[in-house]
Structure 1
Amino acid sequence: VNLSHLDSDVKNLILESVKAMDHAYTPYSNFKVGAAVLCGSGTIYSGCNVENASFGLSICAERTTLVKAISSGDKDFRTIAVCAEGTGDPATPCGACRQFIVEFATNRDIIIYLTNPKMDRIRQTTIYQLLPDHFVLNSC
């Protein structure tokens, strides 16, 4: 996807994910990630990954962002943008983040844009494409 072909709301969302990446706390991996979510209310929330010496306590940018929105009372996620360091293909959310996102995709798919800091590689996908056979509690 070319940035110039995207509408202004999506461009702004991607830019917010790039800015959020600058706040990442990554003293162990030095792999910075930023994310932003556009909610049905029109509000954009952003967040970054935060590492911890006890690696299991680290939190990804995607979950930081969604928790920020949820704790503000906003759960109607429409579009998510994720920016990760590197110049290769854009990184995709980890499995835990995919499951976390799909929890809120009950009535519709959520569009996800993946990019790098230069925004010269942008991939558009959806949560159902990233996690096609996702776990739901009532499927047990």
Structure 2
Amino acid sequence: MGVDKKNEWVQLAQDAYTNSYVPYSHFPVGACLVAKDGQVFTGVNVENASFGLTNCAERTAFFKAVSEGQTEFQHLVVAAKSDDPVAPCGACRQVMIEFCEPTMGVTLVSKDGQLKETTVGELLPYSFTDKQMEGN
């Protein structure tokens, strides 16, 4: 992946968060999920007065991609309107490990463009996957 592509994905994630529905937290988050074939899916956080029904930007992007037949991914960018890059919540990390290799890159982006590079495996060490269910 080239620098230009990653910059494009970062910009898509940052642009996406302008569509967040965040009347309660006022904390917009956008995601840009890139399938192995290069197709891009964006997502935003969508809040609900019943807070447990809120959906994060990362899961929105994954669910959009899966609903369109994509289940193999190469990169995820998560951008938040925050001073520092923000990592995905636990639920999003579990969804990530369901569909991504632990070595897949994840870029976290702050509102001013500060980047933090990590991987799915670094975000969720000792993850629960289908491998734990084998043999049962």
TM-score by length of 2: 0.92
> Given the alignment, which residue of 103, 109, 122 partners 1:115?
109
**RMSD (CA atoms):** 1.3
Percent identity between matched residues is: 38
> Given the alignment, which residue of 67, 88, 107 partners 1:93?
88
Counterparts of 2:131 and 2:69, CA distance in 1: 25
State yes or no: 1:24 paired with 2:20: yes
State yes or no: 1:53 paired with 2:22: no
Runs of 4+ in 1 over 4 A off after TM superposition: none
State yes or no: 1:136 paired with 2:135: no
Q: Which residue of 2 aligns with 1:104?
A: 99
Any unmatched runs of 5+ in structure 2? Answer: none
Deviations 1:38-94 (A, max 9, x none): 11111111010000000000000000001111111111110000001111x211000
Deviations 1:7-61 (A, max 9, x none): 1111111111001100000000001000001111111110100000000000000
Q: Measure how far apart 1:136 and its partner are.
A: 1.5
Alignment: residue pair count:
132
Counterparts of 2:53 and 2:13, CA distance in 1: 22
Deviations 1:104-126 (A, max 9, x none): 125x521100001221x100000
Greater relative CO (CA pairs within 8 A, separation 6+): 1
Any unmatched runs of 5+ in structure 1? Answer: 1-5
The one-letter code sitting in structure 2 at the alignment partner of 1:91 is V
SS of the equivalent of 1:22 reads helix
Contact 2:97/2:129 (8 A) holds in 1? no
